[in-house]
């Protein structure tokens, strides 16, 4: 999967990005380059990525959950997955990966159950015609971007030190 002159450190560390709606791709590149960690941008359509040996673009089919399936199959102990998708986060955590939402909040084995349950309740309410009773997520902010940068940097440092 990795190509280029530089090599990943700490036994195969890798950042996997659920990229179609990810607002922090530029931040991911900056942090990854600083740590010399490869990044795979996974999307259903072609997304522009920097011409850099640590960045790989993977375009999957537009089939339901194709990007999620590709990421989940490759997630593991040396991976950091970036996604806002709760069900993908759950799959990646079960595979042993660390998972960070684009707003910088980590998904953990302790928090994912409640997130999956809340997602199911909201889906049931919408299906029952209630709409979205809480109005959706707040707009993405500078604070979210800053929190994400810190969270990704901290996650990479933890992996470099062997957790």
The full DSSP string for 2-59 is --SSS--STTT-EEEEE-TT-TTHHHHHHHHHHHT--EEEEESS-------TTEEEEE
pLDDT value, residue 7: 36
For residue 63, the model assigns a pLDDT of: 86
Residue 115, in any domain of the structure: no
Residue showing tokens 């990229």? 19
Assess if residue 93 is contained within a domain. Answer: yes
Q: How far apart are CA 105 and CA 111, in angstroms?
A: 11
Place of tokens 């953990």: 108
Q: Note the pLDDT tens digit of each residue in 34-63.
A: 999 999 999 999 999 999 999 999 999 988
Q: Decide: 20 and 82 in contact? Cβ < 8 Å.
A: no
- Give the structural domain span for 45: 14-108+139-158
**Is residue 70 in some structural domain?**
yes
Q: 141-150 pLDDT, tens per residue? A: 999 999 999 9
Average pLDDT on 93-109 reads: 93
Give mean pLDDT, residues 125-140: 67
Mean pLDDT of the chain: 85
Give bridge partners of residue 15 from the DSSP assignment.
39, 80
SS3 85: coil
pLDDT, position 1: 37
The answer to whether position 61 is within a domain reads yes
Q: Note the pTM of the prediction, 2 decimals.
A: 0.81
Report the first-to-last Cα separation within the chain, whole angstroms: 23
29 belongs to a structural domain: yes
Tell me if 42 sits within 8 A of 70, measured CB to CB.
yes
Is residue 2's pLDDT more than 50? no
In a domain, 87, yes or no: yes
Is residue 80, in this structure, part of any structural domain at all?
Answer: yes
pLDDT at position 51 is: 95
Inside any domain, residue 38: yes
Q: What string of DSSP letters covers 65-117?
A: THHHHHHHHH--TTEEEE-S-HHHHHHHHHTT-EEE-TTSPEE-TTTHHHHHH
- Number of structural domains (the chain) is 1
CATH number assigned to the domain comprising residue 151: 3.40.50
């Amino acid at each position: 999967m990795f190509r280029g002159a530089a090599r990943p450190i700490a036994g195969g560390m890798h950042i996997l990005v659920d990229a179609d709606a990810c607002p922090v791709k530029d931040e991911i590149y900056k942090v990854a380059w600083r740590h010399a960690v490869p990044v795979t941008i996974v999307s259903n359509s072609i997304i522009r990525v920097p011409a850099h040996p640590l960045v790989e673009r993977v375009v999957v089919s537009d089939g339901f959950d194709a990007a999620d399936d590709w990421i989940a199959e490759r997630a593991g102990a040396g991976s950091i997955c970036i996604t806002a998708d709760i069900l993908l986060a759950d799959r990646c955590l079960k595979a042993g990966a660390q998972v960070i939402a684009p707003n910088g909040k980590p998904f953990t084995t302790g928090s994912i159950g409640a997130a999956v349950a809340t997602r199911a309740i909201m889906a049931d309410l919408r299906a029952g015609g209630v709409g979205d009773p809480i109005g959706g997520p707040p707009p993405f902010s500078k604070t979210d971007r800053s929190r994400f940068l810190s969270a990704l940097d901290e996650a990479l440092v933890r992996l470099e030190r062997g957790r």
